[in-house]
Chain A
Amino acid sequence: MNRKIALTLLLTASATAAIAGPIEEQIRFRQSAYSFAAWNVGKIKSQVVDHPETFNKDAVAAAANAIAAVANSGLGALYGEGTDQGVGWKQTRLKPEFFQKKAEVTVAANTFNEAANELAKVAATGDINAIKAQFGKVGESCKGCHDLTRIKE
């Protein structure tokens, strides 16, 4: 039993310490993840907010699932030490303070995860007004993280 716990601890420790890969690769993958999310955010914005007459329940539900999938994919793994400097598809805009604000970042990231998962749930119902309201909350959670971690252009 004790050996099992020790082994688990060891594995956890080594997993945490594992190098997430070359800095450029981490930056490139996270930029890709957010770009993919942005495409799906754009679909919901267009079909739910700007042009509700084009609302396609299945397309919006698929988009919400895609955003939730990005949120649940463990993006934190792509924010290794030193990734505030470097070029992925383009220069990263991660603030150096990111690494000193881990607690706040965790809160902001969880807010996004919860908002995105809730959006996927609401989107499945096809209730356009509820989707619109929850979509606004997702937008706020995006902004929360951007304000905290991203250098302004």
Chain B
Amino acid sequence: MKVTIHIWDLPLRLFHWLLAVAVAAAYITAKIGGSLIDWHGRIGIFILGLLVFRVLWGFVGSTHARFLTFFPTPSKLLAYFKGRWHGIGHNPLGALSVFALLAVVAAQVGTGLFANDDIAFVGPLFNFVDKSLSDRLTGLHNTIFDLLVGFIVLHVVAIIFYRWVKKTNLVVPMLTGKKQVPKTVAASLTGRPVRGVGAVGLILSLIISCTVVWGVTGGIAYLHPAESYEQTAQATQADPGF
């Protein structure tokens, strides 16, 4: 006997799929280069906004979006490997994957903010570091990308493994938000309060995410002007003869 429960709230699902699309778009635009490198930068900033939102949502979102709900403690991991973990939401191993992916994407965005392509693109915080540091961070941005690809492959392989070996479809719940669970599992959870999406938490998370994006793209430079490469590019001759 199975019952349908709501597991992934809409903001969480939107975050997930927007992140997937944005990472793919960021890869393609970086690979092609030319004028599209500016779009790579914009997509990166969008990903920053998504990440900030997800971190906040990890504290104020609905039950299964909260970090504390699925934080993979050693004891939970041990129980999972021994087959004694029977929960819903992210299992302890999946939770590790969530934190690893979030950390790697955050590192990728963080280094990208200071990066340059030695052609015609600099990240929005490039002016706050010197060129040699920006070059090193650009190098890290390249290295972390390989790491990210590794984690994405692992993520997809795990989903395929669950689908074919453990007969659990993880994709459909991430699309619809609903999951079928055995009645016994659902019953064992009724004692625990399940929080839905709170309007205040949602609005505050969105406002803070947008503020961080604004801060990075203009706010910091406005509050703390740094000498910029723009100035060199805009400078015109004081004396037309020289």
Q: Do A and B bind each other?
A: yes
> Cβ of A38 < 8 Å from any Cβ of B?
yes
Q: Which of B35, B138, B232, B236 contacts A139 (CB 8 A)?
A: B35
Are A41 and B139 neighbours in the complex by a CB distance under 8 Å? no
Q: Which of A51, A59, A139 contacts B120 (CB 8 A)?
A: A139
**Interface 0/1 of B103-128, CB less than 8 Å to A:** 00000000000000111100000000
A136 to B121, CA, bound (A): 11
> Cβ of A92 < 8 Å from any Cβ of B?
no
Are B33 and A45 neighbours in the complex by a CB distance under 8 Å? no
- CB-CB nearest in chain B for A151: B139
> Cβ of B9 < 8 Å from any Cβ of A?
no
Are B232 and A42 neighbours in the complex by a CB distance under 8 Å? yes
> Cβ of A102 < 8 Å from any Cβ of B?
no
- CB-CB nearest in chain A for B143: A152
A139 to B34, CA, bound (A): 4
**Interface 0/1 of A121-143, CB less than 8 Å to B:** 00000000000110111011011
A59 to B230, CA, bound (A): 15
By a CB distance below 8 angstroms, the chain A residues around B203 are: none
Are A46 and B233 neighbours in the complex by a CB distance under 8 Å? yes
A70 → B minimal CB distance (Å): 14
B229 → A minimal CB distance (Å): 6
Are B35 and A132 neighbours in the complex by a CB distance under 8 Å? yes
By a CB distance below 8 angstroms, the chain B residues around A47 are: 233-234
By a CB distance below 8 angstroms, the chain B residues around A139 are: 33-35, 37, 119-120
> Cβ of A43 < 8 Å from any Cβ of B?
yes
Are A43 and B32 neighbours in the complex by a CB distance under 8 Å? no
Residues of A in contact (CB 8 Å), total 27
> Cβ of B6 < 8 Å from any Cβ of A?
no
A7 → B minimal CB distance (Å): 43
Chain A contact residues: over half helix, strand or loop, or mixed?
A: helix
**Interface 0/1 of A40-72, CB less than 8 Å to B:** 011111110111001010010000000000000
B165 → A minimal CB distance (Å): 38
B129 → A minimal CB distance (Å): 14
Q: Which of A43, A59, A143, A152 contacts B33 (CB 8 A)?
A: A143
B140 → A minimal CB distance (Å): 8
By a CB distance below 8 angstroms, the chain B residues around A44 are: 120
Are A136 and B135 neighbours in the complex by a CB distance under 8 Å? no
By a CB distance below 8 angstroms, the chain B residues around A50 are: 230
- In this complex, the member of A41, A49, A136 whose beta carbon has the largest number of chain B beta carbons within 10 angstroms is A136
Give the interface of A toward B (CB within 8 A). Answer: 38-39, 41-47, 49-51, 54, 56, 59, 132-133, 135-137, 139-140, 142-143, 146, 152-153
Write 12 A-B pairs (CB below 8 A) sorted by A numbering.
Answer: A39-B233, A41-B119, A42-B232, A47-B233, A51-B230, A54-B234, A132-B35, A135-B35, A139-B34, A146-B118, A152-B142, A153-B136
Q: Known pairs A42-B232, A137-B34, A142-B119. 16 more at Cβ < 8 A?
A: A38-B118, A42-B229, A43-B233, A43-B234, A49-B120, A54-B234, A135-B35, A139-B33, A139-B34, A139-B37, A139-B120, A142-B120, A152-B139, A152-B142, A153-B136, A153-B139
